[in-house]
């Protein structure tokens, strides 16, 4: 497919549409489903029925791979053209598809010959943009509005047309200062079969003409007579070949590639839509161009791979540096120590290390990449509001500076959660390793004194013992029992360098002494991180099974309150989920996102566990 595409392509996805390749899902007792048939079912489920069936009208002539390419439009610089390509396995079925498409209740297509290749084009939306002059061979037909046009376009993003003569209006509001995204939409639909036998469906006939020009210039006859007029294709691009030669490419059901330089040219064309000055940090025209040039100087291409493993779904994305960097200094400190101190029954957990170093990196990077300024300056603007005017704490100097070791934040259920009485068993806990416990205690003492002074009429500061850990607990009167108090927040030192913070003192028992089992011992978590690169920047872990159950229960109680007939006469008993939904949820395991860096790339990895 790469030989059919110009070297200027912005990006490309390859989808394996061979049903045999999807047999791997049967190991999870999930019937193998052709992706095109799945699209039909999804559209039907969403009520977006179409006059065409992907499974019945497209699949019969489709090859084993479907390429989805994104190209810039040479005549409209800020418009992205979409093109889908596949080898035609059955030419009669392809002709039947064209015949059916022409027979639908749609505007009559325009047929034209371009270099002896017939192109059919349908005008799906009215447009004020002037068309290129048609060739003498074109067979024009007047576009008419169709009452059923929306049915064909239902699954396609519909973008309202904008008068090209109207100059953009910039105000001082934030919405007007945000750069506009390139327009991606279907105003037209063009179809052709290239000389190579590859079918192309594109959002503009200009994209097809580019491919025909490429095929003509690189034909054996043309190369023999005029080799100097050969045009570079994507297959000649060394950056693309690096991704293509990755062993994961052939293993993947979905693989992708993107070119930062080509994408950058498109985004640079958007600079005229950005105001010269703006109140939003990092989003003026000059800063936008500065940040864009910096990004393009740092990276040259990106790729994506998604495949099935015996344990679930894996995905990996690599953003390659323009120049190989020096190896990072070897970190000899113990990693992932806190995983053994976290409870296994969590909804989600974020673990990483050295927040102080990460923050300083963002501060320095914002000088080169202005778009980061909105994070840095936004935080500094909100910090006084977070801590309050009477609390003498600088979040950067008095908090972030001493978080120089591992840290972990977990969201987990607990029957001791401070809001359990109102039906919320959700609570939050954090563990922080620091080499500066004195600095941490100084900040915590400031906080304690402030809350004691400000909330002296309703907040009480008490000491609570949980295991061997002494906690400082902030409590308020419990209206259910006279003289009793309810802890809302607590902190204490699990050991000399590990600070524990929890919502409610009693929930600290989930961390103390050592959870049994701990998150590090959880089968779902171990499966999720087993294949992840080491070292990395930490884990963003989600218990997909537990989260899906909570979401399904909420939706069923809100929208299907009487879904379970046996319990319909007992509203106090929670209704059970329908069996098909319950079975699907039970197959889910843990999901994790991991980021890492080597000398040649920044890597993002994802895993979703699926149980047999």
Which helix (H) or strand (E) segment is 116 a member of? Answer: none
Contacts of 42 by beta carbon, 8 Å cutoff, 6+ apart:
none
Q: d(Cα 604, Cα 403) in Å, to the nearest integer?
A: 24
What does the DSSP 8-state code read for residue 436? -
Cβ neighbours, 10 Å, residue 177: 17
pLDDT value at residue 434: 97
Q: d(Cα 148, Cα 122) in Å, to the nearest integer?
A: 14
pLDDT value at residue 150: 43
Which of helix, strand or coil describes residue 304? strand
CA distances from 427 to 261, 393, 414, 553 (A): 45, 25, 7, 19
CA angle, residues 585, 590, 594, in degrees to nearest 5: 145
* Helices and strands, counts by H and E, the chain: 16, 20
Q: Residue 472: beta bridge partners?
A: 463, 491
Record the pTM.
0.82
What are the per-10-residue average pLDDT scores of the chain (612 residues)?
Answer: 93 90 72 66 59 82 93 74 93 92 85 94 66 42 41 40 41 48 66 94 92 92 88 95 96 95 84 80 84 91 96 96 85 83 96 96 91 88 78 92 96 88 87 97 94 84 93 88 86 96 94 92 94 94 94 77 48 64 90 96 96 86
What does the DSSP 8-state code read for residue 183? B
Handedness of CA 208, 209, 214, 215 (dihedral sign): positive
Q: Residue 219: beta bridge partners?
A: none
């Amino acid at each position: 497919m790469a030989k059919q595409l110009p070297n200027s392509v912005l990006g490309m996805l390859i989808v394996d549409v061979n049903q045999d390749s999807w047999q791997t899902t049967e190991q999870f007792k999930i019937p193998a489903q052709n992706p095109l048939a799945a699209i039909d079912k999804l559209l039907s489920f969403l009520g977006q029925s179409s006059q065409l069936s992907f499974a019945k009208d497209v699949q019969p002539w489709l090859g084993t791979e479907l390429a989805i390419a994104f190209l810039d439009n040479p005549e409209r610089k800020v418009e992205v053209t979409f093109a889908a390509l596949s080898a035609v396995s059955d030419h009669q079925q392809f002709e039947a598809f064209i015949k059916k498409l022409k027979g639908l209740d749609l505007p009559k297509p325009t047929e034209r010959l371009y270099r002896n290749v017939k192109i059919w084009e349908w005008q799906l939306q009215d447009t004020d943009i002037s068309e290129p002059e048609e060739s003498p061979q074109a067979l024009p037909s007047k576009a008419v509005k169709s009452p059923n046009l929306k049915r064909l376009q239902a699954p396609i993003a519909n973008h309202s047309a904008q008068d090209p003569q109207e100059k953009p209006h910039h105000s001082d509001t934030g919405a007007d200062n945000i750069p506009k995204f390139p327009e991606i939409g279907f105003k037209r639909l063009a179809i052709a079969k290239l000389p190579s036998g590859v079918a192309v469906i594109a959002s503009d006939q200009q994209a097809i003409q580019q491919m025909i020009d490429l095929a003509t210039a690189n034909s054996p006859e043309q190369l023999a007579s005029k080799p100097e007029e050969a045009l570079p294709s994507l297959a000649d691009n060394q950056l693309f070949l690096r991704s293509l030669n990755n062993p994961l490419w052939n293993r993947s059901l979905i693989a992708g590639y993107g070119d930062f330089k080509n994408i950058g040219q498109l985004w640079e064309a958007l600079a005229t839509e950005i105001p010269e000055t703006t109140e939003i940090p990092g989003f003026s025209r000059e800063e936008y161009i500065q940040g864009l040039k910096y990004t393009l100087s740092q990276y040259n291409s990106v790729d994506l791979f998604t495949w099935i493993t015996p344990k679930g779904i894996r995905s990996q994305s690599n953003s390659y540096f323009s120049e190989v960097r020096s190896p990072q200094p070897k970190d000899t400190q113990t990693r992932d120590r806190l995983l053994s101190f976290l409870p296994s029954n969590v909804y989600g957990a974020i673990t990483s290390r050295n927040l102080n170093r990460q923050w300083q990196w963002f501060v320095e990077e914002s000088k080169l990449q202005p778009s980061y300024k909105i994070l840095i300056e936004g935080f500094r603007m909100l910090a006084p509001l977070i801590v309050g005017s009477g609390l003498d704490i600088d979040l950067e100097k008095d908090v972030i500076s001493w978080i120089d070791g591992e840290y972990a934040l977990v969201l987990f259920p607990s029957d001791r959660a401070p809001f359990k009485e109102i039906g919320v068993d959700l609570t939050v806990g954090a563990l922080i390793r620091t080499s500066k416990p004195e600095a941490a205690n100084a900040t915590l003492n400031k906080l304690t004194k402030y809350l004691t002074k400000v909330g002296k009429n309703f907040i009480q500061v008490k000491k609570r013992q949980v295991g061997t850990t002494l906690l400082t607990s902030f409590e308020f009167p419990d209206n259910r029992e006279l003289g009793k108090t309810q802890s809302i927040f607590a902190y204490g030192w699990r050991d000399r360098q590990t600070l524990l913070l929890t919502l409610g003192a009693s929930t600290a028992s989930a961390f103390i002494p050592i959870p049994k089992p701990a998150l590090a011992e959880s089968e779902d978590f171990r499966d999720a991180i087993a294949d992840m690169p080491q070292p990395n920047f930490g884990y963003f872990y989600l218990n997909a099974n537990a989260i899906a159950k909570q979401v399904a229960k909420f939706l069923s109680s809100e929208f299907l309150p009487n879904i379970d007939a046996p319990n319909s006469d007992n509203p106090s008993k929670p209704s059970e989920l329908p069996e098909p939904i319950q079975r699907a949820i039970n197959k889910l395991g843990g999901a994790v996102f991991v980021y890492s860096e080597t000398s040649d790339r920044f890597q993002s990895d994802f895993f979703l566990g699926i149980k047999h």
